[in-house]
Homo-oligomer: A and B are copies of this chain.
């Protein structure tokens, strides 16, 4: 799950994830969207994302089509929900304190 966070923690990679969210895209088309960044660099980022299980690769002839792999975000998502829930827990704890003060 930490691998997930690390994979997302890079501007280019996060941008790629948003790009392939709806439609699958060939590596070349992804690379073209970035200026000031070479194609090999993008290719390396794609590998990181793939290794982290955040995208899938499908080969079609000479091209490789990438698309988002939502399941890959599952563990991180539930950790975040856990963090989020502590908001409610605090409210409950605060209410408890109040109740004790004025019994």
> Taking the complex as formed, is A27 at the interface, i.e. its CB lies under 8 A from any CB of chain B?
no
Classify the interface of chain A: helix, strand, loop or mixed.
helix
Q: Mark A70-97, 1 if CB is under 8 A from B, else 0.
A: 1101101100111111110110000000
Q: With A11-B2, A14-B2 given, is the CB distance from A71 to B87 under 8 Å? A: yes
Q: Copy number of this protein in the oligomer?
A: 2
Q: Does A68 sit at the interface, judged by CB under 8 A? A: yes
CB distance from A29 to the nearest CB of B (A): 18
Q: Which of A41-67 contact B (CB under 8 A)?
A: none
Nearest CB of chain B from residue A10's CB, rounded to whole Å = 9
Partner of A8, one of B5, B22, B85, B90: B5
